[in-house]
Amino acid sequence: MSLKLGVIGTGAIGQDHARRCSQTLLNSQVVALIDINPASATNVARQLGLQAEIHADGHALIAAADVDAVLVTCWGPSHEEFVLAAIAAGKPVFCEKPLAVTAEGCRRIVEAEIAHGKRLVQVGFMRPYDQGYRALKAVIDSGRIGEPLMLHCAHRNPTVGSNYSTDMAITDTLIHELDVLRWLIGDDYRSVQVIFPRRTSRASEQLRDPQIVLLETVKGVRIDVEIFVNCQYGYDIQCEVVGETGIARLPEPSQVQLRSQASLSTQILTDWKDRFIGAYDVELQAFIDGVRTGKVGGPSAWDGYAAAVAADACIAAQRSGAIEVLDLPPRPAFYD
């Protein structure tokens, strides 16, 4: 029997996930939708040809008897409320990043899930499902480059909307690195500093862009991440791991190499939806399969909390200019 999903929030990623769960992936169907803009939910249902009920609000959707599991894909500030409601209803929930907009909010979700006694939450950190990151991790785990010592990373978006602010470079963008790099090298962060280079003239008034985030892990690995969200030229994700005996790099997404008119060129993608299309498919198929077999896995509420603790420290570091120390408590055995 296919898993009946309800989707809360039918904006950019909500409609993309509704499409993949109803048209691309196996053993799932979308039976319910809701958006605070009802026309958006109705349009998505029509465009995708869904026989889906359009609910009055997220709580009604979660309570609906025919909804087996919930996708929370609305704006970040509403995530905590709907994830807690799904846990209270005992329904598995896939929540887009961030799990909640504060570390305390994530902590409340962790506590509610532990009290429930079984994992119900998967966070939409998709990079651990990306083929390139998985290949990079396999090389690191094989020991071929020795122990990781330094990581050099970049997260570049061509442009961002006019409401994007300096702290969103952390909560909306860097949050992916804060999750994937912990997973990649099996380490947690100890401290962080944020440095602001010369500001690009392409950024809006309220945004300091680019930024360089310098992290140190518990094992002493040094990580630099450049966040540059008005880089103009493309959507570009870089990660290089320097180990004791070698260097491993995240592969470029495969694109045709072109020799033409006396030049050698390769296209660079411009949209995160295309760059991680395979990863989004695999993460949601994993959620669907996990729910159907009674074993929700993947990035957990604890991972959402750990990323949020790091994000809070990064924002403090943006404001202070100083090195900020992180305070992540030990991981509860529930998440082992």
Site string for ligand NAD, 275-294 (x = CB under 6 A): --------------------
Pairing of strands 222-228, 148-156: parallel
In 3D, which of 164, 125, 176 has the Cα closest to residue 314?
A: 176
The one of ligand NAD, ligand ISE, none whose footprint includes residue 130, by CB under 5 to 8 A per kind, is: none
Does 8 bind ligand NAD (CB under 6 A)? Our answer is yes
Q: How far is the CB of 145 from ligand NAD (least distance, A)?
A: 28
Does 78 bind ligand NAD (CB under 6 A)? Our answer is yes
Question: Whose Cβ is closer to ligand ISE: residue 107's or residue 155's?
Answer: 155
Site string for ligand ISE, 46-85 (x = CB under 6 A): ----------------------------------------
Beta bridge partners, 257, equal: 266
SS3 114: helix
The one of ligand NAD, ligand ISE, none whose footprint includes residue 78, by CB under 5 to 8 A per kind, is: ligand NAD
Interacting residues with ligand ISE between 118 and 177 (CB under 6 A): 157, 172-173, 176
Residue nearest to ligand ISE (CB): 173
Beta bridge partners, 182, equal: none
Residues 31, 45, 76, 312: which binds ligand NAD (CB under 6 A)? 76
| Strands (DSSP E) found in 218-317 | 222-228, 236-243, 247-249, 257-260, 263-266
172, two tokens: 């909306």
Pairing of strands 189-195, 28-34: unpaired
Interacting residues with ligand NAD between 98 and 127 (CB under 6 A): 124, 126
Contact 149, 216 (CB under 8 A): no
Q: How many CB atoms lie within 10 A of CB 209?
A: 21
| Strands (DSSP E) found in 196-245 | 211-217, 222-228, 236-243
Residues 28, 40, 173, 318: which binds ligand NAD (CB under 6 A)? 40
* Binding footprint of ligand ISE on the chain (CB under 6 A): 157, 172-173, 176, 272
